[in-house]
Amino acid sequence: HCRIADVGGTEYYWDIFGSYVAERPIEITLMNLSAVTVHSHKFESVAADATDLASYDDNAFDLVHSNSVIEHVGNWDRMSRMAAHVRRLAPVYYVQTPNFWFPYEPHFRFPFFHWLPEQARAELLMRCNLGFGGKRTSYDAAMRGVQSAYLLSERQFRELFPDAQIIKERVWGMSKSMMAVRART
pTM to 2 decimal places: 0.92
- The two beta strands, 26-32 and 2-7, are parallel
The percent of residues in the chain predicted with pLDDT above 70, rounded, is: 99
pLDDT value of residue 133: 86
Pick from 93, 15, 37, 12: which is nearest to 60 by CA? Answer: 93
For residue range 115-164, what is the model confidence (pLDDT) as tens digits?
999 999 999 999 999 988 889 999 999 999 999 999 999 999 999 999 99
Instruction: Report the alpha-carbon distance of residue 50 to residue 67 in Å, rounded.
Output: 12
End-to-end CA, the chain:
18
For residue range 95-122, what is the model confidence (pLDDT) as tens digits?
999 999 999 999 999 999 999 999 999 9
At 58, is the pLDDT very low, low, confident or very high (cuts 50, 70, 90)?
very high
At 185, is the pLDDT very low, low, confident or very high (cuts 50, 70, 90)?
low
